[in-house]
């Protein structure tokens, strides 16, 4: 049982539960407000995140920051993390065993932050958290509730870099999130 973020960080620093630990430069735990009402969960750190030890600081993170700014969400008011805390090689999606190895860490983060809303960024986060029967294309933008937490699946910002037609959906999902945030 973890009672503080410091304890959690120490556990993760020594983690050898999966092969991702073999090539990490830094663990990538979180960024933002540890008392936030809104949590964003991505899939895993990329090269920039591994170098800096913070999630969403590369190209996808910069795009997400632009969207936040345009909609009026302050990055420092939300909590940002990933399913896995170490970078998968070549920025590939985390494998199921890697995601499973990090789930206790993610659960501890949710318990420590106590968010009212969790935004699931992409298919990996969606399937890991809500179940493999879901797909991001059919589920994005649809609010779901589980254990007194509202979930909003949406596209991962990296997907927007590959397919600009998804930007409008991401933008609209964040606008809906902003409306809900105003009532928290």
pLDDT digit string, tens, across residues 82-114: 999 999 999 899 999 999 999 999 999 999 999
Hey, where are the domains in the chain?
A: 5-181
Instruction: Quote the pLDDT of residue 1.
Output: 78
Instruction: Quote the pLDDT of residue 40.
Output: 98
Read off the pLDDT band of 122 (50, 70, 90). very high
Q: Between the CA of residue 139 and those of 98, 123, 150, what are the distances in Å?
A: 24, 9, 14
Mean pLDDT of the chain: 96
Dihedral over Cα of 97, 5, 26, 52: its sign: positive
Which pair of structure tokens corresponds to residue 155?
């596209």
Phi, psi for residue 81 in degrees, rounded to 5: -150, -175
Asked if 85 and 12 count as a contact pair (C-beta separation under 8 A), the reply is yes
- The mean pLDDT value for 64-76 works out to 97
Global confidence as pTM: 0.97
pLDDT digit string, tens, across residues 127-171: 999 999 999 999 999 999 999 999 999 999 999 999 999 999 999
CATH superfamily of 5-181: Uracil-DNA glycosylase-like domain (3.40.470.10)
Read off the pLDDT band of 21 (50, 70, 90). very high
- The mean pLDDT value for 38-56 works out to 97
């Amino acid at each position: 049982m973890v009672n503080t973020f410091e304890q959690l960080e120490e556990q993760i620093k020594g983690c050898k539960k999966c092969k991702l630990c073999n090539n990490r430069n830094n663990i990538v735990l979180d960024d933002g407000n540890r008392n936030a009402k809104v949590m964003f969960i991505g899939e895993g750190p990329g090269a920039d995140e591994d170098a800096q030890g913070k999630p969403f600081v590369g190209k996808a993170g910069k795009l997400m920051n632009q969207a936040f700014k345009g909609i009026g969400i302050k990055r420092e008011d939300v909590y940002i993390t990933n399913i896995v805390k170490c970078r998968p090689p070549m920025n590939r999606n985390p494998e199921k065993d890697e995601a499973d190895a990090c789930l206790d860490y993610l659960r501890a983060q949710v318990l420590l932050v106590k968010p009212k809303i969790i935004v699931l960024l992409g298919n990996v986060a969606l399937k890991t958290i809500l179940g493999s029967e879901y797909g991001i294309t059919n589920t994005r933008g649809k609010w779901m509730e589980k254990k007194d937490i509202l979930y909003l699946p949406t596209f991962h910002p990296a997907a927007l870099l590959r397919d600009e037609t998804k930007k409008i959906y991401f933008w609209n999902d964040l606008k809906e999130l902003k409306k809900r945030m105003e009532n928290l």
